[in-house]
Structure 1
Amino acid sequence: MTKLIVATGNPGKLREMEAYLEDLPWELQLKPPEIEIEETGDTFTANARLKALGVAQATGEWSIADDSGLQVDALNGAPGIYSARYGKTDAERIQRLLSELGDTSNRGAQFVCAIAIVRPNGTIALEVEGVCRGEILKAPLGTGGFGYDPIFYVPEQRLTFAQMTPELKRRYSHRGKAFELLLPQFNQLL
Structure 2
Amino acid sequence: MTVLVVATGNPGKVKEIEPYLSGLNWELRLKPPELEMEETGTTFQENAAQKATQVAIATGQWAIADDSGLEVMALDGRPGVYSARYAESDQARIAKLLGELGDATDRRAQFVCAIAVAKPDGTIALLTEGFCPGEILTAPRGEGGFGYDPIFYVPEQRMTFSEMPLEVKQEISHRGRAFQAILPQMKALKV
TM-score (structure 2 length as normaliser): 0.98
C-alpha distance in 2, partners of 1:95/1:11? 28
Aligned length: 190
CA RMSD, aligned part only? Answer: 0.5
**Cα distance in 1 between the residues matched to 2:123 and 2:89:** 36
Letter in 1 for 2:175: R
Q: In the alignment, which residue of structure 1 is the partner of 2:126?
A: 126
Structure-1 residue corresponding to 2:80: 80
Write out per-residue CA displacement over residues 17-36 of structure 1, whole angstroms, 9 at most, x where no aligned residue: 11111111100000001111
2:30 equivalent to 1:30: yes
Counterpart in the other structure of 1:7 = 7
- Aligned residue in 1 for 2:61: 61
Gaps in structure 1 of 5+ consecutive residues: none
Structure 1 counterpart of 2:154, one-letter code: V
**Identity over aligned pairs, percent:** 65
Question: Counterpart of 2:174?
Answer: 174
Separation of aligned partners in 1, 2:172 and 2:160: 11
Q: TM-score, normalised by structure 1?
A: 0.99
Shift of 1:168: 0.5
Counterparts of 2:28 and 2:136, CA distance in 1 = 34
Aligned-residue offset at 1:183? 0.7
Partner of 1:49: 49
CA distance in 1, matches of 2:121, 2:54: 11
Distance 2:42 2:153 in 1: 26
1:108-160 C-alpha deviation (Å, 9 max, x unpaired): 00000000000012211100000000000000000000000000000011010
Q: Secondary structure at the match of 1:187?
A: helix
Shift of 1:63: 0.2
- Structure-2 separation of matches of 1:23 and 1:131: 24
- Structure 2: state its 5+ residue gaps: none
SS of the aligned residue for 1:153 comes to strand
What secondary structure does 2:162 align onto? helix
